[in-house]
Amino acid sequence: MTITKSKQRISDFQSHINSNAQRIRDAGNEAWRLVKTKGEVEIVRQFLVGRGRGTDYLNANLTKALGTGGRVVKFASIFLHQVPKVFGITNHPPATPSKLPAPCELGDLQTLFLYLDRTKNVRQVRSVIFQAKLNPAGGAYVIDHPEQRPLYDTCPRFVYESVLKGEFRDLPGGHLRERALQYLFVDERSAQGDRLVRVRTIPADAGSGAFENYGEHLLRFLNDSTGLDVPPSATTKDTWGRVVWDMINHVADAVSKATPVRKSGLEGLLDHFNHFESHEEFSIDTTNGEPFGNGGGGFGLQLIIVWDPELGDENARRTERPRASLPQELGKMADEYLKINEPDYNKRVQLKDKLAGEMADFALRNKISPCELAEVALHFKHEGLIVAAAAAHVMKPGYDPSHLLRAAGYATRKHVQFKIIQAFRAAHERINLSHSSRKAYLDVAKGYLNGADAPLKRAIEQLRQDWIKADDEQPKHIRQSH
């Protein structure tokens, strides 16, 4: 796929973001309002890893609306004990470095936007790092810390005191710096007493910079109005890119010690959150919720992942896509499924059920989502893989079944069709499918009626009754709008 097409897909996504502007503002503000804890570090931690708020709330209330044109959106978070410490450097080379009197935190929270193609190659990266405080300081500066303020406002570079001790990094200058380094106030209060979180651009001078509610910042970050672009390669020599990749690798190293991540760097983090359609696995807290002592700190990384299966290397032969990218064992099981020819009906169904379940379990344990499995099954039109994808959807029913829907038209075996109907019913119980979406699934199911045996007919009828009931339970004005 050409660079032009890649840019067009990203531009289309940004346009879609703008069409959901108020929804994004409201969700961003509410995600912070729901954090009820106290203390600067604990507030940030709970925003990142707490259930029902922060990242979890954004997944529940934004991702479905933002996923369009085949894209899948997911918010994910990591929180660490170790805070990267640096000395701000007040002068430029080749002069002998003039360090600030004491080290300070490079930041408390980093937000990272990742636009990924079909094979999870990074097409666009953007990032901002925040210094977090409870409230703005009074007086001449909104941040009055003697080392943190000049580090963000004026220092041309810094040297690591921890993480990469002794290594120097430059900081961006001019208007680019305002996109990269910002302040975050996490405990201001509205007139009603609710938590109000605001972002402030640098410099910290009381008469400079600009405040905006977090919801507005989230909108601007998603549509590329703030945050600074980062080259997608970890070996970049770009000024801001080196700082951002330092932090990505720092977080990834900490995560690899706390979780069974199989790969290093960003690839390892994405591997952990590989099931982008599922929000059950949305955070890693390497602190295990342990309380912080006096002066204890933490560093958080929030990922905003946009996975776009429509983007990929279209110069590669399509016949090279797939089953080779699946574990060989899974391909063998799929072939074995098609060979089951037990003459006794009940035993045959038991054998097929057992193998379908084993394939689904194998795929999920190897971080292959039901959606990815269905995509490969569609490519090969392989009913052994289709039934595996259907069984995986039954085991993990929170995934979008649209990939399975496209593969369902190639299912001719009654057992495969039966498993697909089971998957559709399981998805209906967990996902709020629209009326038009349900109709598309039911149309496929009705196509199975010709030649269906009694169990398949019952399953299709039950699916139809479930969805009639779902329509009846909707408010009347919504039903009429359909």
Segment 386-397, tens digit of pLDDT = 999 999 999 987
| Mean pLDDT across 295-322 | 69
Q: How many residues does the chain have?
A: 482
- pLDDT digits over 211-230, tens only? 999 999 999 999 999 999 99
Backbone phi, psi, residue 275, to 5°: -80, 80
Instruction: Calculate ∠ Cα 440-453-446, nearest 5°.
Output: 15
Element (DSSP H or E) covering residue 80:
strand 72-80
Pick left, alpha or beta for residue 193 (phi over 0 → left; psi -120 to 50 → alpha; otherwise beta): left
Calpha distance 313→291 (Å, rounded): 47
Instruction: Name the pLDDT band for 473 (thresholds 50, 70, 90).
Output: low
β-pair partners for 126: 113, 229
β-pair partners for 85: 105
Question: Over 70: is that where the pLDDT of 304 sits?
Answer: yes
Instruction: Calculate ∠ Cα 175-113-228, nearest 5°.
Output: 10
β-pair partners for 111: 128, 302
Backbone phi, psi, residue 216, to 5°: -65, -40
pTM over 0.75: no
pLDDT recorded at residue 439: 77
Nearest CA among 71, 41, 55 for reference residue 281 = 55
Q: What is the CA radius of gyration of the chain?
A: 25
Buried b (16+ CB within 10 A) or exposed e, 353-368: eebbbbbbebbbeeeb
Calpha distance 400→356 (Å, rounded): 20
Pairing of strands 283-285, 195-201: unpaired
Highest mean pLDDT: which range of 80-84, 146-150, 371-375:
146-150
| Mean pLDDT across 418-429 | 89
Give 333 or 256, the one with higher predicted confidence: 333
Task: Give the alpha-carbon dihedral of 43, 45, 46, 49, to 10 degrees.
Answer: 160
Instruction: Name the pLDDT band for 175 (thresholds 50, 70, 90).
Output: confident
Domain ranges in the chain are: 3-307, 318-481
Q: How far apart are the first and last CA of the chain?
A: 37
pLDDT recorded at residue 260: 59
pLDDT recorded at residue 471: 63
Average confidence score pLDDT of the chain? 86
| Mean pLDDT across 196-220 | 93
- pLDDT digits over 367-376, tens only? 888 888 888 8
- pLDDT digits over 251-288, tens only? 888 887 766 555 567 887 887 776 666 666 788 888 87
Instruction: Name the pLDDT band for 319 (thresholds 50, 70, 90).
Output: very low
Calpha distance 2→315 (Å, rounded): 9
pLDDT recorded at residue 146: 93
